[in-house]
Amino acid sequence: MSKEREKTWRSASNAFSHEENRRARLDAFFERFSELVRPVDLKTVSTMGVGDFGMVATVPDLEKLRELVLFCRTIELAWLPLGGASNCLFPDGILGAVLVRLGEPFEEISLEDGLVVCGAGASAAKLLNFSLANDLGGLEILAGLPGTVGGALAGNAGAKDAGLADLAAEIEAVGTDGLPRTLRRGEFKSGYRFLGLPPELEGSVVTRCRLELPRARREETSSKVAELLAARRRSQPMGARSLGCVFKNPPGRSAGELIDLCGLKGREVGGARISPVHANFIVNLGGASSKDVLELAGLARESVLKTHGVVLSLEIKALDRRGRLLFW
């Protein structure tokens, strides 16, 4: 661990000097896993460019991941899996939790017994390209998605009502007890932007999956990918810095349309704006804070409830400084 990195870590720890227990936990983690940890400006990690300072621990293998998870549990230090940070709103101020990123061995993709075996650290784009190269279909729903396979599984990301978890025959995960488990179809549930794991795996990190994909000619799937990308470019602010859709679509309705009908397209708070292209996107105009984004999201949610009587639920993962999810 370089002196500069250690100095940065100590600065983060000192930010919680008024919370001695949290500071002690951060220090203990640093001492144990200093070779894995690096300080990060979260603005450079987030696809939206929002956040402050955090610590990222990159785990090289399953055993080190298990060791880290168990240690965090023992000292009661919050940790969160970090994928592509494409739907995670980091807080303003130093993040007092550890972000865990899967290393290169978790990015491998192969074919085994007719199933695609994919590490959770692989990008959604890499998995899509692998399927095209092997004349497999079904993954055109990942076209244009910037995150990792683990994140796409956890949120069942995809297009319209289809998601990646719907195609999974097996999902492997490490629970908060540090134990690896393999779940077969029927042992987990998937739905619209939802992956349901057994209670003992709540808060776990997905490490790998096996996907059952149909055979499909590369040309046909490539055509579907092109159509989906073109549709995204027409209807979404593809070049802007955002976290994708802020809210889940309520049953039978479009969250973006409901927000648009409230007259909120183009509304700004600080450096954040509700996109004039798609009202379910909040974009960073430059210098946006988490507070700006949450204020706009809260305005949209309140307006839709008041005008349409519909409650919108967050699709993005918004964090407080302790690493806790803000649930709406």
Active site residues: 193, 245, 315
Q: Mention every residue, 6+ apart, whose C-beta is less than 8 A from residue 95.
A: 42, 51, 52, 53, 54, 55, 319, 321, 323
**In the structure encoding, which two tokens stand for residue 173, read together?**
């995960």
d(CA 78, CA 101): 14
d(CA 213, CA 111): 11
Q: Which residues of 213-236 are buried (b: 16+ CB within 10 A; e: fewer)?
A: beebeeeebeebbeebeeebeeeb
Q: For residue 282, what is the DSSP state?
A: E
d(CA 200, CA 291): 33
The 10 Å Cβ neighbour count of residue 153 is 26
Q: Pairing relation of β-strands 189-191 and 98-102? A: unpaired
Q: Closest Cα to residue 318, out of 51, 16, 23? A: 51
Q: Pairing relation of β-strands 205-211 and 115-119? A: antiparallel
Sheet containing 168-174, strands listed edge to edge, beginning at the edge strand earlier in sequence: 109-112, 115-119, 205-211, 168-174, 180-184
